[in-house]
Amino acid sequence: MRSAALRRMTTVALAATLGLGLAACGGGGGAQESVSWRLAETHPGDYPTTQADKWFAEELSKRSDGRITVEVYPDAQLGEERDVLEQMQLGSVELNRTNANLVGEFVPSWKAYGIPYAFEGEEHFWNFLQGEGGQAKLDELSEMGAVGLAYYDSGARSLYTNGKPIEKPDDLAGRNIRVQPGSITAEVVEEFGGSATTMDFGEVYSGIETGVIDGAENNLPSYVSTRHYEVADNLTLNEHQRVPEVLMISQSAMDQLSEQDQQLVREVAKESTEVQRELWQEEVAESRKTLEDAGVTITELDDKKPFEDAVAGLKERYAGQYGEFMDAVEAAKKQQ
């Protein structure tokens, strides 16, 4: 299924390549003749973000006639996400696919992406990301010396634990939930009534297994690909956040290219969003099936209101702090 989607996207892209290739030959930039970059990815090779990274790398090489080479390093080979963000600032990693929640530590206004229940659903979320609001956030990445290239889907984040299933916020009392570094999710978990521990993604499985934490929160594909469901087999679809994935490049890497090649990088990255979103849909469905087959208890909530109410105060506080973000979020609702 996955490869069919990729094939389709590659054919579409091929048509664009022919036109662009010609343009590239005609123009000429005063920048470096060729560059070779590294792209850091925390997920395994077959995860939708990684496949989109690879598509981006291949297309970029093709359309630049080999002037731009990108090697994708999956499985956190270049380090955990937070470390990679630091490495980018130091100039040792050029490209990075990361989750928006992690960026908050480097560009504080990105903490806004962690505001719980900010988006009504997938359509609203993508209206925002692909509109002026989403672009304005990408532009803010210049504060950390990076250029935001594209968003990828990451669905909604939900709670999972071992022991007793979570049916209402109160059930989190006395439970310790892992959250991503740099995010406001710790506060979300605490408002629900639990306690929160910040931990790198790669530590979560053993953290749950050894009882340091009782669970975590994530989307279905991550819950499955990390096999966290083996050690925390209760999933509650409370969907407290929709936090995008972002593909970024360091400004210093971008500066090595001619104007024309910079444009090419931007274009190919934007197209890779479509590749990733299609793969994402398939992955969510497959993950759901894997969880059902594994006998995981999936708690669907007819009404998420108790969870929404528990974080209403927090949401209001952050909405005050990030007013511009919330205005753009509101505006994206009207376009639905």
In 21-120, DSSP assigns E strands to 35-40, 68-73, 95-99
Produce one character per residue of 193-211: b if its CB has 16 or more CB atoms within 10 Å, e if not. Answer: bbebbebbbeebbebbeee
Helix (H) or strand (E) holding 250: strand 245-250
Q: Residue 110 contacts by C-beta under 8 Å, 6 or more apart in sequence?
A: 100, 103, 104, 137, 140
Q: Which of 50, 51, 96, 99 binds ligand GTR (CB under 6 A)?
A: 99
Range in contact with ligand GTR (rule: CB under 6 A) among 105-113, 123-131, 217-225, 292-300: 217-225
For ligand GTR, the closer of residues 64 and 222 by Cβ is 222
Q: Select from 12-20, 26-34, 98-106, 288-296 the region that touches ligand GTR (CB under 6 A).
A: 98-106
When the beta carbons of 87 and 99 are compared against ligand GTR, the nearer one is 99
Query: Closest Cα partner for 251 from 139, 100, 102?
Result: 139
Looking at the Cβ atoms of 134 and 244, the one nearer to ligand GTR is: 244
Q: How far is the CB of 260 from ligand GTR (least distance, A)?
A: 31
Nearer to ligand GTR, 250 or 276 (CB): 276
Structural contact between residues 94 and 253, judged by C-beta atoms closer than 8 angstroms: yes
Closest to ligand GTR by CB, 24 vs 156, is 156
Q: How many CB atoms lie within 10 A of CB 6?
A: 17
Nearer to ligand GTR, 51 or 218 (CB): 218
What is the footprint of ligand GTR within residues 237-276 (CB under 6 A)?
245
Q: Find the part of the chain contacting ligand GTR (CB under 6 A) among 97-105, 137-145, 279-287, 320-328.
A: 97-105
Nearest distance, CB of residue 195 and ligand GTR, angstroms: 17
Point out which span in 61-69, 94-102, 168-176, 283-291 binds ligand GTR (CB under 6 A).
Answer: 94-102
Nearest one of 231, 238, 202, 203 to 217, comparing CA atoms: 238
**222 is a contact residue toward ligand GTR (CB under 6 A):** yes
Residue 185 CB, nearest distance to ligand GTR (Å)?
A: 9
Name the residue nearer to ligand GTR (CB basis): 68 or 224.
Answer: 224
What is the C-alpha separation between 87 and 79, in angstroms, rounded? 9
Nearer to ligand GTR, 68 or 102 (CB): 102
275-304 residues near ligand GTR, rule: CB under 6 A: none
Distances (CA, A) of 66 to 40, 115, 180, 266: 20, 41, 37, 16
As a whole number of angstroms, the distance between CA 230 and CA 201 comes to: 16
**Nearest-approach distance from CB 145 to ligand GTR, in angstroms:** 20
Span 150-169, contacts to ligand GTR by CB under 6 A: 154
**In the block, residue with structure tokens 């999933």:** 235
Quick check: 219 binds ligand GTR (CB under 6 A)? yes
- By beta-carbon proximity to ligand GTR, the closer residue of 56 and 63 is 56
For residues 214 and 145, the answer to whether their CB atoms sit within 8 Å is no
The correct pick among 5, 37, 42, 70 for binding ligand GTR (CB under 6 A) is: 42
Provide the residue type at 101 as one letter.
Answer: N
Which ranges constitute the DSSP H helices of 193-258?
204-209, 220-225, 251-254
- Torsion sign, CA atoms 22, 27, 32, 33: positive
Residues near ligand GTR (CB under 6 A), total: 12
What residue type is assigned to position 158 of the chain? S
Residues that bind ligand GTR (CB under 6 A): 42, 81, 98-99, 102, 154, 180, 201, 218-219, 222, 245
